[in-house]
Amino acid sequence: MRLYIIIILGFVFLFNSCIKKTTNEINTQLVETIPPDDLYFLDKVGESTPAFLAAREQEIEFLKNSIHLNRSAPILIPGNWTTQGPGNLGGRINTIAINPQNENIIFVGFSHGGAYRSIDGGKNWTPIFDQETNLYIGSIEIDPVNPSNIYIGTGDPNGGFYCGQGNGIYKSIDNGKTWTHLGLSETRIISKVIVDYKNPQTIFAASLGYSYQKNEHRGIYKSSDGGQNWNKVLYTNDSSGITDLVMHPKDPQTLFAVSWNKLGLNNRGVVSGPDGQIFKSINGGQSWKKLTSGLPSDSLNGRIALAISKSNPSIVYARYIRTYRCDNSVSNNLYAIYKSTDTGENWTELPSLAPSSGLECGDTGGFGWYFQNIAIAPDDPNELYIMAIELFYSDDGGINWIIPTPRNGPVDVHADKHAMAFYKNGDYLLGTDGGLYKYIKSTNTWIDLEDIPTNQIYRVGYNLHEQDLYYGGLQDNGTTSGNKFILSNWDRIYGEMDFKWHLTKKIQLYFMLNIKMVRCNNIIMVIGEVLQEA
């Protein structure tokens, strides 16, 4: 135990962490019982006690009011802020929306970087949400009848147990220029927003709920007046929220929803449980029934993803994640893919994970909870896409699979796929941990569109030996350096996930990754394990 405490204290020193606690007794208890990787969690969110949560709410409200007041108040720090970069290493994308009446207009939502709009097909991008107080974007929905109306659901549905908590839903009636808050702040994470394409005043919002506390603010909410008022129409319990919601493309009264047990209470994370289920409504959300025929019914289900075919809506696919033994270890991985040919009433498990199918249980890397979506090509119900570490594509209804994304060559598509959006001609956009990419179907080519400065940066550093040279430790994008003069050409020094760096000499750099410490002195050298592998 003494050695264990020394290791933890050393880790705290390396990160210069400051952990808030109330008494010396609590200090000792936390150090002795919580693994090193959870120290970051406590530093960010503290203990999930009622007193802590109440104090945090007051701090958030104070911050909101301060931001609004400071927009018209004198600036305490003189000068203007400028973007230094990196512009060539994109951040994690949770959601993509293409204007149905003008496909050159694209909206992209980032896990921690706000929302961006392009009006020229992705060549140039403008931030449209930076004036708001919450930049965690979970869902973007365009009104299919009046595309100038845009809805944003905040909160990060794909993060781990350090994910960003949102503050409800926003609406723009001028194509993203200005925004109005529509409420649902207490839901914390909005995983999906859907607008009824026959009656756009009807809006559905799926809430995954607050990541750090059991409460009743989870489920599906419905508005019949354009978001002015909301009623909860589906609720499972205080420990499970809604991670996916799809609407029948020809009958908006028919909806499918997925519930999921995801909760992080201090050092215990839940990603599987008895509430991983699929629900169906045929009356616009007034009532729901659980779908069971042919689907797993035990208490081991993890995250489920749904997709309904636009060209043949009787076909629905469901991808199941589960915590079970895969590749000789128990982890949260791809479990099965199910298909329904009667609009969800009955399901059949596909042989997608059969030997030589091209898809394996370990293709989600042991963190299947990280991946939210599957997709079907709009013109062919047999063209199915599974988003995981790689993108997997099947043209025979989920039997055989290939990886269509290149990892070497002119375009290197980043790992960890999260979002897709299709054009009418079959081209599509793909959102990853490392930005946005476009696939051109007619030429079978890829275009890198990730020139948007939205990285999740753990730590920022400044080089005292070289003027205006900055370093950043990026989520899933490694250690990088540069400045505004090379905004779209920052240098990636090392890959993986970087937390912190330290410059000791002009040519000597130390930086910390999620599982190792590395020294860069014109060479890359692993010099010691410093963290538990998460």
pLDDT tens for the chain, residues 1 to 534: 444 444 333 444 333 433 333 333 323 233 333 444 444 444 444 455 566 667 767 776 776 666 555 555 555 556 777 888 888 888 999 999 999 999 999 999 999 999 999 999 999 999 999 999 899 999 999 999 999 999 999 999 998 767 889 999 999 999 999 999 999 999 999 999 999 999 999 999 999 999 888 999 999 999 999 999 999 999 999 999 999 999 999 999 999 999 999 988 656 788 999 999 999 999 999 999 999 999 998 778 999 999 999 999 999 999 999 999 999 999 999 999 999 999 999 999 999 999 999 999 999 999 999 999 999 999 999 999 999 999 999 999 999 999 999 877 789 899 999 999 999 999 999 999 999 999 999 999 999 997 788 888 877 777 777 778 888 877 777 778 888 888 888 887 766 554 455 555 444 554 444 444 444 444 444 444 443 333
pLDDT of residue 495: 62
Which DSSP string corresponds to 84-141?
A: ---SSS---EEEEEE-SS-TT-EEEEETTTEEEEESSTTSS-EE-STTSS---EEEEE
pLDDT of residue 469: 85
What residue type is 219 in one-letter code?
G
Q: Is residue 476 part of a domain?
A: yes
Q: Is residue 201 part of a domain?
A: no
pLDDT of residue 471: 82
Query: What's the total number of domains in the chain?
Result: 2
pLDDT of residue 63: 66
How far apart, in whole angstroms, are the C-alpha atoms of residue 311 and residue 335?
Answer: 27
pLDDT of residue 496: 57
Question: In angstroms, how far is CA 42 from the centroid of its own chain?
Answer: 21
pLDDT of residue 266: 59
Q: Is residue 514 part of a domain?
A: yes
Q: Burial, 198: exposed, middle or buried (Cβ in 10 Å; 0-12, 13-18, 19+)? A: exposed
Cα torsion angle, 264, 269, 275, 278, sign: positive
Q: Is residue 474 part of a domain?
A: yes
How far apart, in whole angstroms, are the C-alpha atoms of residue 450 and residue 377?
Answer: 23
Q: Which of 70, 93, 122 represents a domain boundary (last residue)?
A: 70
Q: Is residue 419 part of a domain?
A: no
How far apart, in whole angstroms, are the C-alpha atoms of residue 156 and residue 209?
Answer: 10
Domain that residue 489 falls in: 457-528
Q: Which of 70, 96, 129 represents a domain boundary (last residue)?
A: 70
Q: Which two tokens stand for residue 16?
A: 């210069």
Q: Is residue 422 part of a domain?
A: no
Q: Is residue 57 part of a domain?
A: yes
Cis peptide before 127 (omega within 30 of 0): no
What residue type is 379 in one-letter code?
D
Q: Is residue 55 part of a domain?
A: yes
Q: Which of 70, 89, 118 represents a domain boundary (last residue)?
A: 70
How far apart, in whole angstroms, are the C-alpha atoms of residue 98 and residue 27?
Answer: 50
